[in-house]
Amino acid sequence: MSLTKQVVFIMTDTTRHDMVGCYGNSNMITPNIDSLAKEGVLYEKAYSCQPVCGPARSAIFTGLYPHSNGSFTNTVPLYEGVKTIGEYLAEKDIHSGYIGKWHLDGGDYFGNGICPRGYDPKYWYDMRCYLDELTVEERVKSRTEKSSIENGGIEKEFTFGHRVSNRALEFLEEAKDEDFFLTVSYDEPH
């Protein structure tokens, strides 16, 4: 019996390493992230090759520097023919899911809502998908003065992060007996 290979890659956007407890900041109360770090892999010396979101992501998911993969600034897509880890894994019949902020399709900040090659379209969910499922009332609500969770303006179920997490849990439940690579990419706390 072979071991199942399962990888969950969790990303947050614009988060310094000292903004979570697992890297030693006792003022940051992040028990869930700390627990994941304790049970999983905690990178102590990981550096981004680019300070800008899109190009940094392009390097992570292609293994190529941004000047080689085409995504050298935000809203610029990957060069035609550049493969992502999702495509490489699909060639090996490894189920890949991507849930959350993508930022590599050449669309605006929110993406174009189209699942990239190699990833399971059933679980594809970028910020464009999130915006498309909001009602007019919800869109207006997100732009009002009382829009923060702290003052009771928005329920957690309304947030992109909550919906990303729920989809990730669905993926994990359905894929629990197979090899998979799941990326869970939060825009928050951007």
Q: Enumerate the active-site residues.
A: 53, 103
How far is residue 154's CA from residue 141's CA, in Å, rounded to a whole number? 8
Residue 94: closest CA among 104, 84, 81? 84
Residue 163: closest CA among 103, 111, 99, 98? 99
Q: Six-digit token pair at 22?
A: 């697992």
Q: Taken in order 185, 180, 124, 62, is the CA torsion positive or negative?
A: positive
In sequence order, what DSSP letters do the residues of 80-103 get, joined into one string?
TTPPPHHHHHHHTT-EEEEEE---
Residue 18 DSSP symbol: G
Q: Taken in order 35, 43, 126, 128, is the CA torsion positive or negative?
A: positive
How far is residue 82's CA from residue 70's CA, in Å, rounded to a whole number? 8
